[in-house]
């Protein structure tokens, strides 16, 4: 059972969400919501600063990757990529100036890790990749899974409505491929021989050093939280459609944590738990109205309902999909039904169902220290590691 404190906080959170959504709705009605550049966070949400030196086993950095929008990423690099006595290398030691964080050493072999693209929650209108809660969650996942986490700061609604957030997710996947190709191009000298240090910087200085030295995009996992799960599923579908055009990036699995699914024909939990704690159905409806353009508003929109017929590509081509659901979440049944459809076509699609849990029980800041949140992250790591095993080569030049 939920504790009294959790229930009280849930009531407070509901009022806060409704107040914020009301303000955003008023802004949209007065035409103040249109912003081509977009925003990726809101000032009222506390954020965690990045730290390019290893702290508590993880180093982080922020990168703005699109000159035409606010799209950005935060990279979480676990310290397993280096020896314990080399966890912090300043730029001065690597020929640079004024940078005090970790920089991969040149002329050395580097450990390669899988890359996980993470999409935060927030009902498309809030949250951020650098929020206190998301930063702590990504650090936990980076360490438990031993992966490089790339947390995506996609554009929020209503300033940037559908399909902005979905396009941003796909853009980051393509950016990851570009980074890999830049690093690969830089690995060769004019006489066709490999250079030991060129996987860190290409000839134009464009390759992101941490990903170039330590990232293995052929073992890419998508992880989405709440509405971020909708984005992850969209990116997975586009990756399937792209096929070898994405090489060397390969999406090997995805994790959907309490997806933000909905539909016009309500399922049992959408009726029975409509007034559930933390995120009730009426509040989420307000968010959908802010996210979808008015002329496209439909609860069976492809962004909202994964069960509509005719969605492409066919489910049999989808990657292995782990779904996390909570017992007290009104969105649970549609997520379970989607998982069942994947299993019908022989996709590995297990469901982790957590008793007495609420929406975002493993990612909301106030719950991160609970045993349930820790157990959920550990369960995810166990499943993910099945699909990112090294298959015999841990190091590469």
CA distances from 41 to 164, 201, 207, 342 (A): 14, 31, 26, 33
Count helices and strands in the chain by DSSP H and E runs: 9, 10
Terminal CA-CA length for the chain: 52
Strand 215-225 relative to strand 148-153: parallel, antiparallel, unpaired? unpaired
**How far apart are the C-alpha atoms of 319 and 73, rounded to whole Å?**
23
**How far apart are the C-alpha atoms of 118 and 153, rounded to whole Å?**
9
Where are the alpha helices (H) located in the chain, listed in sequence order? 4-29, 132-145, 164-185, 209-214, 227-242, 268-272, 281-291, 332-344, 371-384
- Name the active-site residue from 130, 168, 202, 329: 329
Our answer to whether residue 62 is catalytic in this structure is: no
- Name the active-site residue from 226, 269, 276, 339: 226
**How far apart are the C-alpha atoms of 369 and 54, rounded to whole Å?**
21
**How far apart are the C-alpha atoms of 325 and 356, rounded to whole Å?**
11
- DSSP letter (8 states) at residue 55: B
Our answer to whether residue 329 is catalytic in this structure is: yes
- Name the active-site residue from 110, 120, 199, 359: 359
What is the Cα 115 distance to its own chain's centre?
11
SS3 50: coil
Residues marked active site are found at 226, 329, 359
């Amino acid at each position: 059972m939920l504790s009294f404190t959790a229930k009280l906080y849930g009531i407070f959170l509901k009022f806060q969400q409704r107040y914020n959504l009301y303000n955003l709705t008023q802004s949209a009605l007065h035409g103040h919501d249109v912003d081509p550049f977009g925003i990726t966070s809101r000032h009222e949400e506390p954020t965690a600063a990045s730290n390019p030196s290893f702290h508590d086993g993880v180093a982080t950095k922020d990168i703005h990757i699109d000159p035409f929008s606010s799209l950005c990423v935060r990279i979480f690099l676990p310290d397993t990529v280096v020896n314990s006595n080399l966890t912090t290398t300043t730029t001065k030691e690597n020929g640079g100036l004024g940078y005090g964080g970790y920089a991969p050493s040149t002329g050395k072999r580097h450990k390669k890790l899988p890359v996980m693209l993470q999409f935060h929650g927030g009902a498309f209108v809030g949250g951020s990749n650098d929020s206190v809660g998301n930063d702590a969650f990504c650090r936990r996942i980076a360490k438990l899974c031993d992966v490089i986490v790339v947390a995506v700061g996609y554009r929020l609604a209503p300033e940037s409505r559908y399909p902005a957030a979905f396009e941003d997710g796909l853009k980051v996947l393509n950016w990851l491929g570009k980074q890999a190709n830049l690093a690969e191009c830089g690995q060769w000298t004019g006489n066709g021989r490999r250079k030991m240090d060129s996987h860190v910087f290409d000839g134009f200085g464009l390759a992101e050093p941490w990903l170039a030295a330590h990232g293995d995009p052929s073992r890419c996992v998508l992880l989405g939280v709440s509405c971020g799960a909708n984005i992850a599923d969209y990116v997975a579908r586009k990756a399937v459609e792209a096929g070898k055009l994405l090489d060397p990036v390969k999406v090997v699995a995805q994790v959907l944590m309490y997806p933000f699914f909905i539909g016009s024909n309500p399922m049992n939990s959408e009726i029975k738990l409509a007034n559930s704690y933390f995120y009730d159905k009426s509040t989420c409806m307000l968010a959908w109205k802010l996210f979808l353009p008015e002329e496209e508003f439909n609860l069976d929109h492809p962004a909202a309902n994964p069960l509509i017929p005719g969605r492409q590509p066919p489910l049999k081509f989808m990657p292995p999909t782990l779904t996390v659901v909570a017992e007290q979440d009104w969105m649970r049944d549609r997520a379970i039904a989607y998982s069942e459809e994947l299993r019908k076509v022989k996709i590995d699609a297990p469901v982790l169902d957590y008793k007495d849990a609420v929406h975002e029980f493993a990612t909301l800041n106030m719950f991160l220290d609970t045993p349930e949140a820790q157990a959920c992250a550990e369960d995810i790591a166990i499943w993910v590691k099945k699909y990112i095993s090294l298959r015999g080569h841990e190091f590469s030049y």
